[in-house]
Amino acid sequence: MALYSEKVMDHFRNPRNVGVIEDADGVGEVGNAKCGDIMKIYLKIGNGIIEDVKFETFGCGSAIASSSMATELIKGKPVEDALALTNKAVTEALDGLPAHKLHCSVLAEEAIKAAFKDYYDKNGISYDPAMFAEPEEEE
């Protein structure tokens, strides 16, 4: 069996939503200390909807595929749905990742949450800090 699914290869070779949103409402940047990969997510939010989302990922193929898929999963969705996105959902949408690559999908969840936190902080919106607790790696 191939190590990576067709979907992972597709999103790695042809990533969606790559780039920068200059006037983003929230920006989140996270990294993984072990592998050194870095992911940055930009959110444009209006009327409670994710109007646009872009990413820049300096990292492995799984991190690129995870960020691409994660942006696809939240684009056009209500804020609550985007906030509820888990690394497990990203992994499932990619038809799985090898166990040692699950942390790549965790980065995507963390980066989106960090962008929301930035958005809330900038706009003085109060939130429960537990919402932004570090996600667990889920299989």
Q: Does 62 bind ligand FES (CB under 6 A)?
A: yes
The span of 3-11, 29-37, 47-55, 86-94 binding ligand FES (CB under 6 A) equals 29-37
15 binds ligand FES (CB under 6 A): no
In the complex, the smallest distance separating the C-beta of residue 87 from ligand FES, rounded to whole angstroms, is 11
Tell me if residue 22 falls in helix, strand or coil: coil
Q: Where are the alpha helices (DSSP H) in the chain?
A: 6-13, 61-74, 79-83, 87-93, 102-122
Q: Is 104 a catalytic residue?
A: yes
Residue 35 is among the residues annotated as catalytic for this protein = yes
Is residue 39 within 8 Å of 5, Cβ to Cβ? no
The gap from C-alpha 36 to its chain's centroid, in whole angstroms, comes to 17
Binding site for ligand FES (CB under 6 A): 32, 35, 37, 59-60, 62-63, 101, 103-104, 107
